[in-house]
Amino acid sequence: MQLSIRPFVRITIACLLAVVFFVPSDLVAQSHIVSPADLQKELVTASQTRQNDINTVQQFLSTPTAEKAMKSAQIDPRQVQTAVSTLDDQELSQLAARATKAQADFSAGAMGERDLIWIILAIALLILIIVAVR
């Protein structure tokens, strides 16, 4: 009694071909593609986050204290405000977080006006340096 491998190979190939041809290709493709609605939602979220970060940094740098500090350091406040929008998302997010923390600390009395001025000048110089390096 000899077992032949040929019938086994034929059956295996037939099963594989049946699976390949009878499984809808759309079903396989859909599991790997991001839907346009999900992509649109992520783009809107990223855009809103970026705009919120820009607004946070620009509001921080447009306070009278900030403008006075930049003018006394001979930094053009308009140049800094314009440069904010050229930062990438990561840099902008970090600066917005620092600006928010500095405002909260100053409001809570955890830091004085002098410390706030140093932070404002550091953020303004950092923005100008990042833009200049690019």
> pLDDT of 40-66, one tens digit each?
898 899 999 999 999 999 999 998 988
Determine phi and psi for 3, rounding to 5 degrees.
Answer: -95, 130
When divided into structural domains, the chain yields a total of: 1
Q: Does some domain include residue 47?
A: no
- The pTM is what? 0.67
Helices 77-84 and 36-61 cross at an angle (nearest 10°) of: 170
Structural domain range at position 79: 55-134
What is the pLDDT of the chain when averaged over all its residues?
84
76: region left, alpha or beta (phi > 0 left; psi from -120 to 50 alpha): beta
Q: What's the full length of the chain, in residues?
A: 134
